Amino acid sequence: MPLYQLLGGQVRHGADCYFHASGSSFSEVEENARRAMEQGFRHVRVQVATPGYAGYGARGNAPAEGARNEVVGPTSPRDIWEPAPYVRLVPKLFEHLRTKLGDDVELLHDVHERVTLNQAINLCKALEPYRLFFLEDPLPPEDNDHFRLLRQQTSTPLAMGELSTHSRNTCPSSYNFGVHEGSGFLKETQEVFAGCPEIKIGYMLAQERPGLGIEVDENLAAKFPIPAGPPNFEYSWETTRRRDGTVIP
């Protein structure tokens, strides 16, 4: 018997998931969003590159050849990010997508905390006509008190929490959950972790196997060692800076 049944049964038949649709242009994001909808996803997270700048969630400027070995600092930034062009661009993306995709699909977006409070307020208010499912991480958890000010200024749904490391950053009353990140699992991952959840028609479905439902093949896992040294999980966190050299976390 699956463990969840021993703990009280099934709450829902599956967890609604969102698909990642990104691109270097509005049309490319639209194309990827349509592909998600054709696969049955009802929620789509959309990210677009800001022309001329680095970014997260969508490919921006690629570093110059050999730049990975260069020393990065205030006088030698590599990946340049400026929030103002990004804040102006995102509402235009949603205007395009709502016109092209209609109202039946739920759209999400992740800010990745790289804007100021006043920019977050302006962005949230500008996005209200496009009825987002949520806007994720408009501010970092260390600015938790600013979320109260942001909520007073906008009706755009807000999401945050994955960066929280202290109980004071958590909300005492929140809905069970809204949507699950639907990145799926690589073929190799499914082989190593036999029984991992499946994604079908936009839902993540748990296995009905006994116990936790997942078995780890340690011998097969040994064939996929984690390479030594960076970048193992690197999205320009250490190197992205403002044009004036200010570090962007």
Place of tokens 């990975």: 68
Choosing from 43, 96, 109, 112, the catalytic residue is: 112
Backbone angles phi, psi at 69, to 5 degrees: -95, -5
Q: Cα–Cα distance between 132 and 121 in angstroms, integer?
A: 15
Choosing from 18, 53, 56, 86, the catalytic residue is: 56
Asked if 203 is an active-site residue, the reply is no
Asked if 56 is an active-site residue, the reply is yes
Q: Do residues 112 and 144 lie in contact, with contact meaning Cβ atoms separated by under 8 Å?
A: no
The pairing of strands 180-181 and 158-159 is unpaired
Bond from prior residue into 231 cis (ω within 30 degrees of 0): yes
Q: Cα–Cα distance between 4 and 162 in angstroms, integer?
A: 24
> Which three-class secondary structure state does DSSP give residue 161?
coil
Residues assigned a catalytic role: 56, 112
